[in-house]
Amino acid sequence: MTSTLMWSRRGWLGLALGAAASGCVTAPGASGAASLDSLAKAKGMRFGAAVGRIDLDNAHYLEIVRRECGVVVAENDHKWPIIHPAPGVYNFAPGDRLVDWAERHNIRPRGHNLLWNHPRWIAPWVANYDFGADPRAGAEALLREHITTICTHYGARIHSWDVINESIDEHTGEMRDTVFTRAMGPQVLDFCFHTARDAAPQAMLVYNDYMNWTADSANHRDGVLKLLHGFKDRGVPVDALGLQSHITADPNTDYAAEEAAWRAFLDEVAGMGYQLLVTEFDVNDNNLPSDPATRDRAVADYAKRYLDLTLSYTQVKEVLTWGIEDGRSWLNNFRPRPDGLAKRPLPYDAAYQPKPLREAIADAFRAAPAR
Ligand code: G3I
């Protein structure tokens, strides 16, 4: 059984590589199945995935994205260190490559991110930048240039932007301390959203963060709620909250508690009038046993619970996974599994075969109310 499966995968890969070379690729496993994007669209949503620079040279990866997705986002190539690597220098080529590819395939690109307000991820040259005698004015000038240059470059081609990424500390629920908050105070976020609204008036403007439904995320959820209330009170143009949704399947989950906490959170966000996007979905399988079939089942079941609840909110307009196949997940480089095995967090496996998680996502779209 195993050897047949191995052989057939190798056989398919050989065929597909030949087909790719001739410009024609057909991936196995989902022939005739409704695409995830078409299931999402039937309910007024869209489905998509992150695409890394390396994926743009992988015909198998692109074929799955082309078949399943109505939205894509660059995993890294619109981030500050890449797109604005030195003062006054902009490097649009890597990000443009994905946007161009997406448009050729009628897929909508979204943008991630204009400012990752987290000390670990601010470009080194920015972290050491001299804002001058009036640091607030200096920081505003740099942010205005950065946001306006990028938004103007893309114009209406990018339909939604993560304007700010991960600015709330997950432990304290407070604003992170960065070179920008030191220069401008917490108003740095308001400034970025106003600047983005001026520069990209057609785009959905998103605050994106990784608070989730677990008990240890309570301070993070509270901090994000406080931030969102502040935006409303001050009339800051924020359209949506991005729920990154990097979730971890846990056999000891107290679903009643997690679902109650998540409902309370989403009720409050929706009550303020925000739309919602699931921006970076994947399922960490660190706490699950080694057997792949057992893991895949548990990942799919956990994901279904999370998505059923989340998609019951008609404010959710898009669902994106952070990659499409296991071999390319960032999770493989982050907190390895105790048994050293590769993780299985995405809808397709590393041989480009659909997994139970793909079906769980499809079922969640089928079960979701229309919007
Ligand atoms: O491309 C270089 C390569 O040339 C170099 O040899 C290598 C050495 O470290 O680094 C490569 O760049 C890495 C890049 O990923 C591409 O693989 C960077 O070091 C690494 O920091 C970067 O990590 C990304 C991370 O964000 C930081 O930007 C991950 O790919 C990306 O999946 C991850 O995505 C984040 C979201 O933006 C925000 N939410 C959480 C999510 C997961 O951490």
Query: Does residue 329 line the site of ligand 1, with CB under 6 A?
Result: no
* Atom number of ligand 1 nearest to Cα 76: 28
Q: What is the DSSP string of 271-296?
A: HTT-EEEEEEEEEE-TTS-S-HHHHH
User: Nearest 5°: phi and psi at 313?
Assistant: -85, 115
Query: Does residue 258 line the site of ligand 1, with CB under 6 A?
Result: no
The answer as to whether 2 is a domain residue is: no
The answer as to whether 7 is a domain residue is: no
* Atom number of ligand 1 nearest to Cα 81: 28
Residue of minimum CA distance from atom 24 in ligand 1: 76
The answer as to whether 142 is a domain residue is: yes
Query: Does residue 75 line the site of ligand 1, with CB under 6 A?
Result: yes
> Burial code of 197-218, b = ≥16 C-beta within 10 A, e = fewer?
bebbeebbbbbbbbbbbbeebe
Instruction: Check residue 368 and report its DSSP letter.
Output: S
The answer as to whether 112 is a domain residue is: yes
- List 320's β-bridge partners, or say none: 48
User: Based on the structure, what is the number of domains in the chain?
Assistant: 1
The answer as to whether 5 is a domain residue is: no
Please check whether residue 103 is in contact with residue 129, taking contact to mean a CB–CB distance below 8 angstroms: no
What SS3 class is residue 76? Answer: coil
Residue type, 61: Y
Return the pLDDT at 19: 37
User: Nearest 5°: phi and psi at 173?
Assistant: 75, 10
Query: Looking up tokens 């057997």, which residue turns up?
Result: 291
Instruction: Check residue 44 and report its DSSP letter.
Output: T
Residue of minimum CA distance from atom 15 in ligand 1: 76
The answer as to whether 311 is a domain residue is: yes
**Residues spanned by the domain of 346:** 12-18+34-367
Return the pLDDT at 30: 52
pTM of the shown model: 0.92
The answer as to whether 28 is a domain residue is: no
Give the span between the Cα atoms of 288 and 295, in whole angstroms. Answer: 6
| Angle subtended at Cα 315 by Cα 313 and Cα 316, rounded to the nearest 5 degrees | 80
Give the span between the Cα atoms of 168 and 152, in whole angstroms. Answer: 28
Please check whether residue 322 is in contact with residue 330, taking contact to mean a CB–CB distance below 8 angstroms: yes
Whichever domain contains 209, its CATH number is: 3.20.20.80
Helix axes 2-21, 59-68, angle to 10 degrees: 90
Distances (CA, A) of 235 to 152, 238, 239: 23, 9, 11
Return the pLDDT at 31: 53
Residues of the chain with pLDDT under 70: 1-31
Query: Does residue 77 line the site of ligand 1, with CB under 6 A?
Result: no
Query: Does residue 244 line the site of ligand 1, with CB under 6 A?
Result: yes
The answer as to whether 49 is a domain residue is: yes
